[in-house]
Amino acid sequence: MFDGSIKISNKDIPRTLLGSSPFVAAPQFGHRARLYQLDLYNNPENIAKIIQKSHDMGVKGIQVMPEPPVIEAIGLARDAGIKMDIVGTLMPETEAEDIELFSDLGAVSVMIHGTLTDTENWDAIEEKLLKIKEIEAVPGLVTHSPFKTTSSLLKSDVLDLFDIYSVPVNKLGYLMDCDVYDKEVRANLDNMMEELNKTIMVRNVLAAGVLMPEDAFNYLKTVSFADVVALGIASVDEAQETFSLLKSL
């Protein structure tokens, strides 16, 4: 499941990515975010161990939020001979610096953070997408609001300027902009993704750890539009369990 890579504009995008949300102690993890800050954000060598284990499990790409500990961990992994294809996310307020950083790192793709995408400020988004193209990375958009933003995006002038679209997807509808996530709502999302006709990266599949991997992946098998998956991993043991199961499906 999610083996190999997808070729876009002569770049190979791995279909399975190691996510970095636990590494930056993202607030979506609730009380565990503090533990992740102590164990991961404050200890880049622990992040590097997860990168190495994930690579050993066959994961060849990493979705990178360019926080200093994550960049340091990538450097530690590279020093150990572990090279992962980088799919970067531009952080709000530091897009120009991040583009330069991802260019230096040789990122295969760079995506605009959902905070900007979801403003639907298409002129500003177009400017950033063109900057990404200048470093010869595959441009993409991230959204935190797949229903509202995608509906607007389909009518926008930037449709031809990006290739990858990252959306939250899980069986609970957690971290998605919907009150319920029933059959009708899921069909609506399916239809919008089909109309969008982009390479779709799904994330939040584990619902920030609420779902067990087997339960999450059984649902993921029903998501027809999922081309790439990014999975946040918080420990070496978690990498072993999660990626072993994904490979077996």
Q: What is the mean pLDDT of the chain?
A: 96
- Structure token digits, residue 131: 């900057």
Domain enclosing residue 65, as ranges: 13-248
pLDDT beyond 90 at 35: yes
What would the pLDDT profile of 52-108 be if each residue is shown by its tens digit? 999 999 999 999 999 999 999 999 999 999 999 999 999 998 999 999 999 999 999
Tell me the one-letter amino acid at 105.
Answer: L
Q: How many CB atoms lie within 10 A of CB 34?
A: 12
What is the rounded average pLDDT of the residues 118-143? 98
What is the model's pTM?
0.96
What would the pLDDT profile of 169-203 be if each residue is shown by its tens digit? 999 999 999 999 999 999 999 999 999 999 999 99
Residue 2 falls within a domain, yes or no? no
- Structure token digits, residue 174: 């957690």
pLDDT at 31: 87
Residue 6 falls within a domain, yes or no? no
- The stretches of the chain forming alpha helices (DSSP H) are 32-36, 44-56, 68-79, 95-105, 114-117, 122-134, 146-153, 183-196, 213-220, 236-248
String of b and e for 107-144 (b: at least 16 CB within 10 Å)? bbbbbbbbebbbebebeebeebbebbeeeebbbbbbbb
Q: Among residues of the chain, what percentage have pLDDT more than 70?
A: 100
Band of the pLDDT at 249, cuts 50, 70, 90? confident
Residue 242 falls within a domain, yes or no? yes
Residue 79 falls within a domain, yes or no? yes
Domain count, the chain: 1
SS3 at position 46 = helix
The residue with tokens 């360019």 is 66
> Which residues have CB under 8 Å from 35's CB, separation 6+?
none
Residue 3 falls within a domain, yes or no? no
Residue 69 falls within a domain, yes or no? yes
What would the pLDDT profile of 80-92 be if each residue is shown by its tens digit? 999 999 999 999 9
Residue 33 falls within a domain, yes or no? yes
Residue 8 falls within a domain, yes or no? no
What would the pLDDT profile of 190-248 be if each residue is shown by its tens digit? 999 999 999 999 999 999 988 999 999 999 999 999 999 999 999 999 999 999 999 98
pLDDT at 184: 96
pLDDT beyond 90 at 27: no
CATH number at residue 97: 3.20.20.100
